[in-house]
Amino acid sequence: MQTCDLLIKDSTVLIKSDVISRHADIAVSDGRILEVGPDLGKMYQAAETLCGKGKLFMPGLIDSHMHTGQQLLKGQVLDAKPIIWTRIMLPFESTLTPGKMRLSAQAAALEMIKCGTAGFIDAGSYYMEDAADVYGRSGLRGALSYSTMDEEGLPDSIAMDADEAVRRTDSLYDRFHGRDNLKVYYSLRALNSCSNRLVELEAAHARERGTMLQAHMNEYMGEINGIMNREGMRPYEYLEKMQVLGPNFLGAHSLILSEQEKTLVMERGVKTCHCPFSNCGKAVPDTPQLLEMGIPVGLGTDGAAHGGLSLWNEMKIFRSVMNIYHGVPNGNPKVMPAETILRIVLEGGAAALDEEGSLGRLEPGYKADIIGINLDQPHLIPTGNVIHTLLECVNAGDVWDMIVNGRILMKDREVLSLDEERILYESRKYMESLDV
């Protein structure tokens, strides 16, 4: 018999977004999928075995845009007056400390594991070395950035020039890129807050190191108008002039795009992502057209301050928004079917993590990032279409198991890689300090 590290036996398996296999086993070794099929127990002797009966195993979800530095802002943004970035988020992030960032990362990692999010892209904040230490121990797969802005008038605690901003990311990259399951991306936090020199430096350093560059793009009209007033062109056109756009660029949000910008994004191979709950207060993206153009689209939560880190919630909201905005006016109830939304989260997320062809499916050679859903529950069975039920009815609390790079991080809802009780205790202490 062949040997493997892990064997998941007799489960329903979502091999990719539109393919289900029943009574299948999954063999894993060296962090990758060896084989998916029936009766693999007759072929493989496993160091560890999981029973898949009554469960569905699928690729781990990927959050293409979140904010560790805003994890402690949960509940403080909803119904707030605009503009929340300048009134709430930026002032809060300027008060971060290493201790706050460690708690933020611990709470975020715990929440993501419990939600089934195996991979994530952090948009960048401060004291990211402390966050990286936590995420490395958690076992999650992620990409981290430093918040990089050099505009005048920022709070003293986060003010920096372009050279200092890029040095911070260089240091983070040198220490953590390729360590555990982590990568480091370069970042332009907000184009209106970045000088031309900072844009040039960040793009050049990302290219030199063969990693991704990310930015908040075309999220609201105030941002777009700011760039147009400063540069005389729209945001993506400006980045094209600066020779920034390419397959290593991730444009978060990308909501309000001109036809010229869509063409640029397509021609340069740019990756994009939307954050449905957060975006609903700003604009509805032209996602059906972006997909038709072959533009990679992922889905993100925009961080816990915008409704928590559950991608299950985001998928439901996204389906509803796409249907009422794009589907109903055109008489197309399948404008954004369940299979497409799952592909956006899984394979679009893999593209955002720069892991196209190695994440987002449970096929031989793919990295073993896997979650198990407990289907044996009244709100999930009986069902006539498991894929539809995944989108319509599954919630974060239905995620039973998580495996990342072949390592079991959660088994039967018990988190194995983090001290859940201690994290919840410290989170309660923090909440009490707010006198909530």
What are the mean pLDDT values of the chain's consecutive 10-residue runs (436 residues total)? Answer: 96 98 98 97 96 98 98 91 84 94 98 98 97 98 96 92 96 98 96 97 98 97 95 98 98 98 98 97 96 98 96 98 97 96 98 98 98 98 97 98 98 98 97 83
Shared domain for 332 and 378, answered yes or no, is no
In a domain, 432, yes or no: no
Q: Are residues 37 and 115 in the same domain?
A: no
Output 284-289 pairs: Cβ under 8 A, ≥24 positions apart. Answer: 284/255, 284/321, 284/322, 284/325, 284/326, 285/253, 285/254, 285/255, 285/257, 286/257, 286/262, 286/326, 287/322, 287/326, 287/336, 287/344, 288/322, 288/326, 288/335, 288/336, 289/262
Q: What CATH number is attached to the domain comprising 337?
A: 3.20.20.140
146 plus 206 within the same structural domain: yes
Q: Exposed/middle/buried for 383, CB within 10 Å: 0-12, 13-18, 19+?
A: middle
**248 and 174 housed in the same domain:** yes
Cα within 13 Å of Cα(425), Cβ side: 4
What is the residue range of 145's domain?
Answer: 59-351
94 within some domain: yes
Q: Is residue 431 part of a domain?
A: no
pLDDT of residue 436: 57
The greatest distance separating any two alpha carbons of the chain, rounded to the nearest whole angstrom, comes to 68
- Distance in angstroms (rounded) separating the CA atoms of residues 389 and 391: 5
Instruction: Give CA 126 to chain center in angstroms.
Output: 18
* 235 upstream amide cis, omega within 30 of 0: no
Residue 314: DSSP 8-state:
H
| Predicted pLDDT of residue 435 | 74
The verdict on 90 and 150 lying in the same domain is: yes
Residue 317 lies in a domain: yes
Distance CA 86, CA 151 (A): 13
d(CA 60, CA 131): 21
Do 64 and 46 have their domain in common?
no
Residues 300 and 121: beta-carbon distance below 8 Å: yes
Q: Give the span between the Cα atoms of 53 and 273, in whole angstroms.
A: 34
425 assigned to some structural domain: no
**122 and 205 assigned to the same domain:** yes
Structural domain count of the chain: 2
319-373, pLDDT tens digit by residue?
A: 999 999 999 999 999 999 999 999 999 999 999 999 999 999 999 999 999 999 9
Per the CB < 8 A criterion, the answer to whether 212 and 143 are in contact is yes
Residue 436 counted as domain residue = no
Residue among 184, 396, 215 at smallest CA distance from 309: 396
- Do 184 and 223 lie in one domain? The reply is yes
- Is the entire prediction scored with pTM above 0.85? yes
The reply to whether 433 falls in a domain is no
Residues 258 and 150 in one domain: yes
Q: Which CATH number is 25's domain given?
A: 2.30.40.10
418 is a domain residue: no
Domain boundary among 281, 316, 351: 351
Task: Give yes or no: residues 301 and 376 share one domain.
Answer: no
Instruction: Give residue 412's pLDDT.
Output: 98
Instruction: Return d(Cα 314, Cα 395) in angstroms, integer.
Output: 11
Do 38 and 123 lie in one domain? The reply is no
| pLDDT score for 276 | 98
- Is residue 49 domain-shared with residue 132, that is, in the same domain? no
How far does Cα 365 stand from its chain's mean position? 22
H/E element holding 401? strand 399-404
